[in-house]
């Protein structure tokens, strides 16, 4: 009898489920559900970098997608052995003592502070600065040292501190906080003891300063210097953490009935999307896996013998087992990648949205047809014209910091800038400059790893940008001066989650063996073009000069 597993992948805009044959990694069924409240921009305020999501978007999405793949596959429920969930992070959720998300309780249904604080929410910049100041000067261990030495406003403690300072009602009603990947896993399992629940090693190590060197989370003595609330909260969090090849529990009766599965279905410990994506793409030593979407997460694995006690500066953490148990997982990334181009598209589209599509000259049918035509050709035409601009022509220099800088050296207070604009600068020139900027930001990350002694021989790209934009991928290969393979799977993070699920179910002995059998093939490869490398290096120098200047004047 064949065995099957489900990988569930939560992205920024939607959740997707895949049902996978464990024998060969074949995808039998997949389904995607977009978050309806998020699509309406509810609970968000981009002007202050506030991005919150209602837990119902995620709960409804889980039920919809898993039911869809179970039905479409026609696989017997008894053959679906396990589920693993990956999510964005750090995306913490306040929950009550009985494990209910606060937003699902009376009086908090529409309070943004009771929602999940999405990874890209940067309202906690001041709190992150406080954490960094204290970690460097309190006289004890620097608890940020395994997280690149700089704590980010994108991460757990800063977000919790900001929300609870801003909203006393949320603070009083909240029993504990859970990362998104932990809550969704907890919701499905039978055992509802919050204290013994198996929290994600990946989430805790990369975002909450958890490390074996100090026996878990930072101690009360450190946290109370930040805020007495954090010291109190620590007792309602966790001590041990677990890798995603471990069983978190079995599916409870309520969700077994809803999903059409059995209570024998194993639920694996949750994880983050980039880390499971790296597993889905068959990550190996000295290979950088770039998960390229609205932002990027860059993942490497290394042996303990190579990394030893060395702390890689300015990255998003190094955690034993966060990607592959037995290896040190290293994470970096850009706060905006596809979002840079989405911002530019939205800016250019302002006249269309506010003048053309609201015009009385056109009929409703004409407006609808025009909108479809523009949408299908917008980025395509910009790309074609930008690609045709020779590197010898004057091209503006842009920074990719439209949502701050994640790595190297997190600074979410930084803003983007564009220089070298002239009367000859047109939209395709700016588009090319922005594509260059996201590639140059990527190069800064690679340079930092290599400066710190972490070798990178090749790069694997996964995600929508990697598969849909040969122009960006070729530019990236030229800028990095390294070959880049593109994973063929549309759903590499979900596939990676399925691989973890197969190991948790005992179908494979370890993640490496499971990844070899179930991981994605590669559909294309980009090689550096020798005649382009020098020209891109000159443009990279301009990027570095502009970055240094902007950082020097940023308060």
- CB-based contact 9:494 (threshold 8 Å): yes
Query: How many CB atoms are located within 10 Å of the residue 262 CB?
Result: 17
pLDDT value for 32: 97
As given in the structure block, the two tokens for residue 540 are: 């990279």
Q: Residue 423 half-sphere exposure, CB side, CA atoms within 13 Å? A: 0
Distance CA 217, CA 254 (A): 33
Distance CA 340, CA 292 (A): 12
- Enter the DSSP assignment of 543: H
What DSSP string runs through 478-498?
A: HHHTS-EEEE--TTHHHHHHH
Distance CA 114, CA 93 (A): 8
Contacts of 176 by beta carbon, 8 Å cutoff, 6+ apart: 94, 95, 194, 233, 236, 237
CA torsion 315-320-321-325 (nearest 10°) is 140
The candidate with the shortest Cα–Cα distance to 173, out of 232, 227, 114, is 114
Averages of pLDDT over each 10 residues, the chain, 555 residues: 96 96 97 97 94 98 98 97 96 97 98 97 96 97 94 96 98 98 98 96 97 96 97 96 98 98 98 96 94 92 85 92 95 94 96 95 96 95 96 95 93 94 97 98 97 92 92 97 94 96 98 96 96 95 97 87
Count of residues in the chain:
555
The candidate with the shortest Cα–Cα distance to 449, out of 289, 313, 262, is 313
> How big is the CA angle at 444 (ends 442 and 448), to the nearest 5 degrees?
120
Contacts of 16 by beta carbon, 8 Å cutoff, 6+ apart: 8, 9, 30, 31, 32, 33, 65, 491, 494
Contacts of 321 by beta carbon, 8 Å cutoff, 6+ apart: 201, 243, 327, 329
Distance CA 405, CA 413 (A): 8
Contacts of 96 by beta carbon, 8 Å cutoff, 6+ apart: 102, 105, 173, 174, 175
Q: If DSSP codes are grouped into helix, strand and coil, which group holds residue 499?
A: helix
Distance CA 161, CA 166 (A): 9
pLDDT tens digit string along 169-219?
Answer: 999 999 999 999 999 999 999 999 999 999 999 999 999 999 999 999 999
> Cα–Cα distances in Å, from 76 out to 5, 446, 465?
12, 46, 35
Residue 525 burial (C-beta neighbours within 10 Å; 0-12, 13-18, 19+)? middle
pLDDT tens digit string along 258-281?
Answer: 999 999 999 999 999 999 999 999
């Amino acid at each position: 009898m064949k065995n099957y597993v489900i990988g569930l992948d939560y992205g920024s805009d939607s959740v997707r489920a895949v049902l996978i044959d464990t024998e060969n990694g074949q995808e039998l069924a997949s389904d995607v559900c977009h978050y309806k409240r998020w699509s309406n921009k509810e609970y968000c305020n981009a002007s202050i970098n506030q991005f919150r999501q209602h837990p119902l978007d995620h709960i409804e999405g889980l039920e919809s997608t898993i039911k869809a793949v179970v039905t479409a596959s026609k696989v017997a429920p008894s053959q679906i052995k396990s589920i693993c969930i990956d999510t964005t992070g750090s995306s913490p959720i306040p929950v009550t003592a009985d494990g209910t998300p606060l937003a699902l309780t009376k009086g908090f249904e529409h309070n943004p502070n009771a929602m999940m604080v999405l990874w890209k929410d940067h309202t906690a910049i001041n709190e992150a600065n406080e954490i960094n100041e204290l970690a460097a000067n309190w006289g004890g261990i620097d608890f940020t040292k395994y997280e690149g030495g700089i704590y980010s406003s994108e991460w757990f403690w800063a977000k919790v501190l900001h929300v609870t300072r801003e909203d006393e009602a949320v603070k009083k009603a909240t029993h504990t906080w859970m990362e998104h990947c932990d809550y969704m896993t907890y919701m499905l399992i039978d055992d509802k003891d919050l204290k013994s629940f198996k929290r994600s090693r990946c989430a805790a190590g990369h975002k909450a300063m958890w490390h074996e060197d100090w026996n878990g989370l930072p101690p009360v003595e450190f946290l109370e210097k930040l805020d007495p609330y954090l010291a109190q909260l620590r007792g309602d969090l966790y001590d041990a953490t677990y890798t995603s090849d471990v069983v978190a529990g079995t599916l409870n009766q309520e969700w077994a009935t809803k999903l059409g599965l059995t209570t024998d279905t194993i639920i694996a410990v949750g994880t983050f999307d980039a880390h499971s994506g790296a597993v889905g793409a068959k990550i190996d030593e000295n290979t950088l896996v770039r998960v390229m979407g609205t932002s990027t997460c860059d993942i490497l694995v290394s042996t303990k013998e190579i990394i030893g006690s060395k702390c890689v500066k300015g990255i998003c953490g190094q955690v034993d087992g966060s990607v592959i148990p037995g290896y040190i997982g290293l994470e970096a990334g850009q706060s905006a990648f596809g979002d840079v181009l989405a911002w530019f598209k939205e800016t250019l589209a302002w006249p269309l949205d506010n003048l053309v599509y609201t015009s009385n000259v056109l009929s409703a049918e004409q407006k609808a047809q025009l909108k479809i035509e523009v949408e299908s050709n917008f980025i395509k035409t910009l790309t074609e014209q930008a690609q045709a601009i020779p590197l010898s022509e004057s091209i503006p220099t842009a920074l990719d910091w439209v949502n701050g800088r994640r790595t190297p050296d997190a600074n979410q207070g930084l803003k983007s800038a564009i220089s070298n604009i002239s009367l000859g600068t047109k939209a395709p020139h700016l588009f090319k400059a922005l594509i260059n900027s996201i590639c140059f930001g990527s190069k800064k990350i690679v340079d930092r790893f290599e400066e710190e002694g972490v070798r990178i021989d090749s790069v694997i790209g996964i995600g929508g940008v990697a598969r849909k934009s040969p122009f960006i991928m070729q530019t990236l290969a030229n800028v990095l001066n390294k070959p880049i393979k593109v994973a063929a799977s549309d759903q590499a993070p979900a596939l990676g989650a399925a691989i973890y699920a197969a190991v948790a179910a005992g179908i494979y002995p370890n993640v490496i063996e499971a990844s070899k059998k179930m991981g994605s093939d590669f559909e294309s490869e980009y090689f550096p073009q020798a005649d382009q490398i020098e020209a891109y290096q000159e443009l990279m120098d301009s990027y570095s000069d502009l970055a240094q200047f902007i950082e020097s004047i940023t308060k």
